Amino acid sequence: MTRLEATFARLRERGERALVTYFMAGDPSLADTRRLVIEAARRGADVVELGVPFSDPLADGPVIQRAAMRALAAGTTMPRVLETVATLRAEVSVPLVLLSYYNPVLAFGLEAFARTAADAGVDGVIVADLPPEEADPLAAQAGAAGLDLIHLVAPTSTPPRVRLIARRSRGFIYVVALTGVTGERRELPADLATQIRRLRLVTTKPVCIGFGISTPAQVAAIGRLADGAIVGSAIVRLVEERAGSPTLVEDVGTFIAELKAPLGPGLGDPPQTPVRAGLRAPARTPPVGAGLGAPAKTPPARDGLGAHAKTPPAGAGLGAPARKTTWAAGAARL
C-alpha cells in the first residue's frame, strides 16, 4: 500500500476527509517552501502538492502563473525541487505530490525523473497536460519506481474517458470542478454533484476535487461529496500577499487549519457506489449546500479531440523543448 493509499484509508476509517494543499515550489523561495510545507502538515494538511514552476503554465490562472514566474526568476528548477523534497521527507510524514507540466519531466528524462523523485520521497505525480492516451511511457517508469501517477477528469470528459481515467489513476482521482483555469471562484458549479455521481458509478478509488475551491464553506461542501478537497490559488495568493512578512508561515498555517476544520472526524463514510461483477447500482447524491446549488443535469460531453499542438521553445533554463499537449486541447481530452 502506498503512502497515499494508506492516508485515504486511515481518513476513511475516522470518517474524515482529506485536505490537499498546493504550494508553488520556490515561491517566495525554496527555503520558505520547506517551512510552509512543515507548517501545513502540522496544521492539518493531509496531502501536500508542490507545483514545479514552468514557463508556459496553461492550466493555471493569474495567481499561480505569477507564482511560477517568481519561482523561475529565483532559480527554481526540477532538480532543486527534488532536493527540497528529499529534505522535507525527513521532516514530514504526509504524502508529497508533484504537480508539473510534461516538458520539465521530459527534459529531465522519464526514467531518471521517476527514480530520482521516488528516491527523494515523492509519493505521486500529476502532469496537468498529459492525457491518459499518451501517459504509458511515464506510467511505466512511475510504476516501476513506486510513484502514483494521478490523472485528472474534467467536466467535459466523456463516459468512456471517465472510465479510462478511473482505471489508470493511482493514489486518487483529481476531479477538475470546472472548465477553465485554476483560480478562486465565488461559487462552486451547480452540477458538481452530478459529475461526482457519474464518477462514483465506475470507481471506488478516492476522489478529490480541485479548481475554484478557496473557502472553508466551499471545502465543507466538497467534504459532503468527495474524499478530499484541493486548495491551491487561495493559499498561493496568501503566500504572495505575506511574502517577506515575519508572519508568513503562521498566517498560512492559520488559514490551512481553518480549511481543515470542516473536514474533521465524524463525517462518516464518503459517498460510494459499489462496483461488483459489472453491476452498477444507482448512486445517491449527498446533500448539496454551501454554494453548490441544486444539482443540474450534465450537458452532453464533447470530446473535442484534435491534433496536438507543438510547444514553443521552453524557457527559463528548462532545456530543449519537448512536445506536449496544450491545456485547451488537453482539458477536452481528459
Q: Which residues are catalytic?
A: 49, 60
**Grid cell digits, residue 26:** 520556490
Q: CA 164 to CA 70: how far, in whole Å?
A: 36
Q: Are strands 18-24 and 148-150 parallel, antiparallel or unpaired?
A: unpaired
**Grid cell digits, residue 217:** 464553506
Q: CA 165 to CA 174: how far, in whole Å?
A: 10
Q: CA 108 to CA 131: how far, in whole Å?
A: 19
**Grid cell digits, residue 295:** 444539482
Q: How far is CA 272 from the centre of its chain?
A: 21
Q: CA 137 to CA 155: how far, in whole Å?
A: 26
Q: Which residues of 124-134 are buried (b: 16+ CB within 10 A; e: fewer)?
A: bbbbbbbbbeb
Q: CA 327 to CA 334: how far, in whole Å?
A: 10
Q: Is 266 exposed, middle or buried (0-12, 13-18, 19+ CB in 10 A)?
A: exposed
Q: CA 83 to CA 190: how far, in whole Å?
A: 41
Q: CA 197 to CA 202: how far, in whole Å?
A: 9
Q: CA 168 to CA 130: how far, in whole Å?
A: 13
Question: What is the 3-state composition of the chain as percent helix, strand, coil, each rounded to the nearest 5?
Answer: 40, 15, 45
Residues 6+ apart with CB under 8 A from 94: 7, 41, 45, 46, 47, 48
Please name the helix (run of DSSP H) or strand (run of DSSP E) that holds residue 149, with its range, or none: strand 148-150
